[in-house]
Amino acid sequence: MATSVELVIKPRRGWQAIDFKEAYRYRDLFAFLVWRDVKVRYRQTLLGGTWAVIQPLIAMLVFTVVFHRLAGVGSDGTPYPLFAFAGLAPWTFFSTAVSQSSNSLVGNQQLVSKIYFPRFFIPLSSICALLLDLAFSLGLLVVLMIYYRWHVSFTALLMLPVFILAAVLAAGGAGLILSALNVSFRDVKYAVPFLIQMGIFVTPVIYPVRYIPQKWRMLLGLNPMAGVVLGFRHSLLGSEAQFDVITMSLFMSVVLFTIGLFSFRRMERRFADVI
Amino acid sequence: MPPIVEVRNISKQYRLGAARAAKENFREFLLRKVKAPLHMLGGSSPNGGPEYFWALREINFDVKEGEVLGIIGRNGAGKSTLLKILSRITDPTEGYVHLRGRVASLLEVGTGFHSELTGRENIFLNGAILGMSRSEIISKFDEIVAFSEVDKFLDTPVKHYSSGMYVRLAFAVAANLNPEILVVDEVLAVGDIAFQKKCLGKMSEVSRSGRTVLFVSHNMATVENLCQHGIVLEQGKLVFSGTSKEAVRHYLGGVLQTMGRDGTNQVDLSNAPGRRRDGRHLLTRVEICTDGDRPVTGGLEIGGRLKLKVHFNLENPTDSFNIGIGFNSMMGTRYFTAHSFFEPDRSHGERVGPQVFVCDIPSLTLMAGDYTLKIWLDVNSAKADEIEDALRLTILESDYYGTGKAPWNGAVVMKHNWYLEEPSAQSADAEGKTETISTPR
């Protein structure tokens, strides 16, 4: 019998990169985990997938009334509801993804303590499963755009996948770190909703970037989601792009994701003992 | 040719009270780190000390290709930790394992089953979790379904399955794994008898097919049947390695705190090796007596009266405490559980300090043979102490039925009668009935 794989199990120390070869061998499992999360997500709910649309829609209505009508917050030249929704779609994706993935390891305790597979599949698959929700809300955005007779620039639209990827990386980076921390410190469960609530204010979701003085704008670029929101508006609504901020932001999401992978890899050794 | 599994100097250290450490919050964590700046970077450095314990210590063994190895040892001996290291769930603290083949491990059946998904969906999910590719699962699908006998319910969510169906499906997926090295933990103790037989059959088929299997079990008969070799773990150390028969014999010999070994009827439990790791050392001693409080030192006859006087301490005043005694065969099968919880007349009020709780069994009708007893103490509905294999009880052959013939075969004896119905009595009986019907009063 030919031995196909050789493996040496020994104590691991220090920082290590993710074993992508192994991850590739397990690729079918990743697909199944995503598929499971999609299947299970809206089981036994009355409204099912509609939930994916209801959340940003209601938030958009509330924001339009409170911030636009009452507080007089303007947009970047697009009708405010469109403006708000184009920001809320990726933001809702991000916030749901972070809160779901940060609880994913603890929620899959049985898997973690009973079987081996690349652990980072768990937080990342729960994020990828939410892309379907994002697709639904983008569908609703299209309906809104038709209603407002808003035109799409197809060249700008080609950029959209880049921003979706950036959103996945940003959520992935945060999810990897938070889910791993959550194994040892259940404080994460309480901190995450709070951080997400704060996050919407440092991300230009409800207000246009022009409200921020020019000299502070680059600071916005430190927030990976700022670039995603601006990028969504640019590619979907044709808003004027702040490319310096966006580039900085995209870079940050790659950095965050890389940090996430490495720190997750470091913390994962203790999962089975501590969870 | 090098061995397919090579285990060298494997040790595993755990922090004591890992459960408490897990609940430590972030502030406490920072405080601990700040107070001990030297440990800041070496969080994983094994520096001994009282707050650590070794779950495994310098384990060495080889497994040759096609060999079936049984791993035996009582609870807490380190079997599960060893399996977890072999299946890569947790890292060893020291040493290494060299595996020359694809490993699949089965520490539990149905890992990753999702109750909202249907049987069909779970086959795919569970298969993937166990390391099968999609195409492998598709090619094995029919075999899995046939083995599980749940074909009619394939499209029903498994939350509506009976526990038997659930387990059958889970085992069926696992049984169709095709790795070169299979690591199995006692998953056979599932389902009804017929299915257990089927599982055992599958296991021996697997072991005959030249697969290398590492198998942990409490069931000595299974170990002897399935495995060629066996190793015995005791308190984290490998204490015996040899053929499975020898290993089983070694284990059974070592387990026993033979009652009356020193010629008395007293068994000291204060340092019992079978104590659960978190047991609070409250159970101190057992006295074995029979009728009229006469001490039992050699053995008890079938049907004899057994009085077990369990000595224990209560740390705080309470009226809520219970003792349980499990009578197990040497192969690990539970035959009978005596529990003070079943005593209807308990009016002792609050107690504290040393106590003696007597379990009086007027007639113990277990078949002649050796039994190992597990004793545990619950205080305020929580397990306070527990000792596996606390003592051994030998039941001697006796003239239980009073006929001069010793009972044989079976696990228990029961008083019973035999009589033949006389043909005439039968008809008389029948006539009697007709009579009552025809002449109602």
What's the number of CA atoms in the CB half-sphere (13 Å) around residue B13?
A: 17
Strands B369-379 and B382-396: antiparallel
Q: Is the same domain home to B184 and B295?
A: no
Q: For residue A33, list chain B residues with Cβ-Cβ distance below 8 A.
A: 125, 128
The enclosing domain of B35 has a CATH number of 3.40.50.300
| Candidate from A3, A185, A272 with C-beta closest to B89 | A272
What's the number of CA atoms in the CB half-sphere (13 Å) around residue B28?
A: 10
Q: For residue A6, list chain B residues with Cβ-Cβ distance below 8 A.
A: 98-100
| Candidate from A11, A112, A274 with C-beta closest to B18 | A274
In a domain, residue B291? The reply is yes
Q: Is B16 on the interface with A (CB under 8 A)?
A: no
Q: Is B99 on the interface with A (CB under 8 A)?
A: yes
What is the C-alpha R_g of chain A? Answer: 20
Q: Is A194 on the interface with B (CB under 8 A)?
A: no
Q: Is the same domain home to B302 and B247?
A: no
In a domain, residue B178? The reply is yes
Cβ atoms within 10 A of the Cβ of B347, count?
5
Q: Is the same domain home to B201 and B299?
A: no
Instruction: Determine, for residues A36 and B114 on separate chains, whether the beta-carbon distance falls below 8 Å.
Output: yes
In a domain, residue B9? The reply is yes
Q: Using one digit for the tens of pLDDT, what is the confidence trace for A166-218?
A: 999 999 999 999 999 999 888 998 999 999 999 999 999 989 988 888 888 88
Q: How close, in Å, is residue A100 to chain B by CA atoms? A: 17
Task: Provide the domain count of chain B.
Answer: 2
**Range A220-243 average pLDDT:** 91
Model pLDDT, residue B306: 93
Query: Which residues contact residue A55 at a Cβ distance below 8 angstroms, ignoring those fewer than 6 apart?
Result: A92, A96
Q: Is B365 on the interface with A (CB under 8 A)?
A: no
Q: Cα-flanking dihedrals φ and ψ of residue A235, to 5°?
A: -80, -25
The span from the CA of A156 to the CA of A246, in Å, is: 14
Q: Using one digit for the tens of pLDDT, what is the confidence trace for A81-100?
A: 999 999 999 999 999 999 99
Helices (H), B256-345: none
Helices (H), B37-98: 79-86
Q: How close, in Å, is residue A97 to chain B by CA atoms? A: 21
Query: By the 8 A CB rule, do B17 and B51 touch?
Result: yes
| Residue B114: C-alpha distances to residues B81, B122, B158, B160, B318 (Å) | 26, 7, 8, 12, 42
Of B188, B219, B253, which residue is a domain's last?
B253
Q: Is the same domain home to B224 and B296?
A: no
Q: Is the same domain home to B212 and B329?
A: no
The span from the CA of B42 to the CA of B425, in Å, is: 89
Nearest CA in chain B to A107: B112
The enclosing domain of B272 has a CATH number of 2.70.50.60
The span from the CA of A74 to the CA of B85, in Å, is: 59
Q: How close, in Å, is residue B84 to chain A by CA atoms? A: 8
Query: Which residues contact residue B220 at a Cβ distance below 8 angstroms, ignoring those fewer than 6 apart?
Result: B72, B248, B251, B252, B330, B331, B332
The span from the CA of A253 to the CA of A234, in Å, is: 18
Nearest CA in chain B to A22: B131
Nearest CA in chain A to B94: A11
Domain of residue B372 covers 266-396
- In chain A, positions 41-100, which contact chain B (CB-CB < 8 Å)? 43-44
- Written as six digits, the tokens of B263 are 């010629």
Instruction: Determine, for residues A12 and B101 on separate chains, whether the beta-carbon distance falls below 8 Å.
Output: no
Q: Is the same domain home to B238 and B292?
A: no
Q: Which of A15, A30, A35, A36 to mutate to test the interface with B (most CBs of B within 10 A)?
A: A36
Q: Is the same domain home to B167 and B36?
A: yes
Instruction: Determine, for residues A116 and B87 on separate chains, whether the beta-carbon distance falls below 8 Å.
Output: yes
- In chain B, positions 127-146, which contact chain A (CB-CB < 8 Å)? 128-134
Instruction: Determine, for residues B128 and A32 on separate chains, whether the beta-carbon distance falls below 8 Å.
Output: yes
Of B219, B253, B287, which residue is a domain's last?
B253
The span from the CA of A17 to the CA of B401, in Å, is: 73
Query: By the 8 A CB rule, do A208 and A72 touch?
Result: no
Q: How close, in Å, is residue B113 to chain A by CA atoms? A: 10
The span from the CA of B24 to the CA of B29, in Å, is: 6
Q: Is the same domain home to B167 and B299?
A: no
Q: Using one digit for the tens of pLDDT, what is the confidence trace for A8-56?
A: 888 888 888 888 888 998 899 999 999 999 888 887 788 877 888 888 8
The span from the CA of B223 to the CA of A139, in Å, is: 60
Q: Is the same domain home to B244 and B291?
A: no
Q: Which of B100, B122, B173, B178 to mutate to test the interface with A (most CBs of A within 10 A)?
A: B100
Cβ atoms within 10 A of the Cβ of B263, count?
8
Model pLDDT, residue B19: 43
Residue A271 has pLDDT above 70, yes or no: yes
Instruction: Determine, for residues B14 and A273 on separate chains, whether the beta-carbon distance falls below 8 Å.
Output: yes
Among A65-69, A133-137, B113-117, B422-426, name the one with the lowest average pLDDT: B422-426
In a domain, residue B192? The reply is yes
Q: For residue B210, list chain A residues with Cβ-Cβ distance below 8 A.
A: 1
| Candidate from B96, B103, B180 with C-beta closest to A1 | B180
Q: How close, in Å, is residue A167 to chain B by CA atoms? A: 27
Instruction: Determine, for residues B96 and A117 on separate chains, whether the beta-carbon distance falls below 8 Å.
Output: no
Model pLDDT, residue B141: 94
Q: How close, in Å, is residue B347 to chain A by CA atoms? A: 42
**Mind listing the pLDDT tens digit of every residue in chain B (441 residues)?**
788 999 999 999 887 654 444 445 666 666 666 655 444 444 444 444 447 888 999 999 999 988 899 998 876 788 889 999 998 899 999 999 999 988 888 887 777 888 889 999 999 999 998 888 899 999 999 999 998 888 899 999 999 998 788 888 888 888 888 788 888 887 555 566 677 777 777 777 877 788 888 988 776 777 887 888 999 998 889 999 999 888 887 876 654 444 444 556 788 888 887 888 888 899 999 998 888 888 887 678 888 899 999 999 999 999 999 999 999 987 778 999 999 999 888 888 899 999 999 999 999 999 888 888 999 999 998 999 999 888 888 887 778 888 777 787 788 999 899 999 888 765 555 554 444 444 444
In a domain, residue B440? The reply is no
Instruction: Determine, for residues A273 and B93 on separate chains, whether the beta-carbon distance falls below 8 Å.
Output: no
Q: For residue A3, list chain B residues with Cβ-Cβ distance below 8 A.
A: 4, 100-101, 180
Q: Is B31 on the interface with A (CB under 8 A)?
A: no
In a domain, residue B161? The reply is yes
Three-state secondary structure along B333-363?
CEEEEEEHHHCCCCCCCCEEEEEEEEEEECC
Model pLDDT, residue B429: 53
Q: Is the same domain home to B248 and B373?
A: no
Q: Using one digit for the tens of pLDDT, what is the confidence trace for A145-168?
A: 999 998 888 888 999 999 999 999
Displacement of CA A103 from its chain's centroid (Å): 14
The span from the CA of B61 to the CA of B72, in Å, is: 14
Nearest CA in chain B to A188: B26
Q: How close, in Å, is residue A175 to chain B by CA atoms? A: 18
The span from the CA of A96 to the CA of A51, in Å, is: 12
| Candidate from B18, B91, B97 with C-beta closest to A12 | B91
Q: How close, in Å, is residue B230 to chain A by CA atoms? A: 22
In a domain, residue B163? The reply is yes
Of B377, B396, B415, which residue is a domain's last?
B396
Nearest CA in chain B to A25: B133
Model pLDDT, residue B187: 59
Q: Is B33 on the interface with A (CB under 8 A)?
A: no
In a domain, residue B339? The reply is yes
Contacts 24+ apart (CB under 8 A), A95-99: A95/A196, A95/A199, A95/A200, A96/A55, A96/A130, A96/A133, A97/A126, A97/A127, A97/A130, A97/A167, A97/A168, A97/A171, A97/A175, A98/A171, A98/A174, A98/A175, A98/A178, A98/A192, A98/A196, A99/A192, A99/A193, A99/A196
pTM, two decimals, is: 0.72
Q: Which of B116, B130, B137 to mutate to test the interface with A (most CBs of A within 10 A)?
A: B116
Instruction: Determine, for residues B98 and A6 on separate chains, whether the beta-carbon distance falls below 8 Å.
Output: yes
Cβ atoms within 10 A of the Cβ of B136, count?
16
- Written as six digits, the tokens of A136 are 């639904």
Query: By the 8 A CB rule, do B340 and B346 touch?
Result: yes
Q: Is A1 on the interface with B (CB under 8 A)?
A: yes
| Candidate from A11, A43, A112 with C-beta closest to B93 | A11
Q: Which of A10, A108, A271 to mutate to test the interface with B (most CBs of B within 10 A)?
A: A10
Q: Regarding predicted confidence, which is higher, A227 or B252?
A: A227
Give the strand order in the sheet containing B306-318: B266-268, B283-289, B306-318, B351-361
Instruction: Determine, for residues A7 and B99 on separate chains, whether the beta-carbon distance falls below 8 Å.
Output: yes
Domain boundaries, chain A: 57-274
Model pLDDT, residue B189: 56
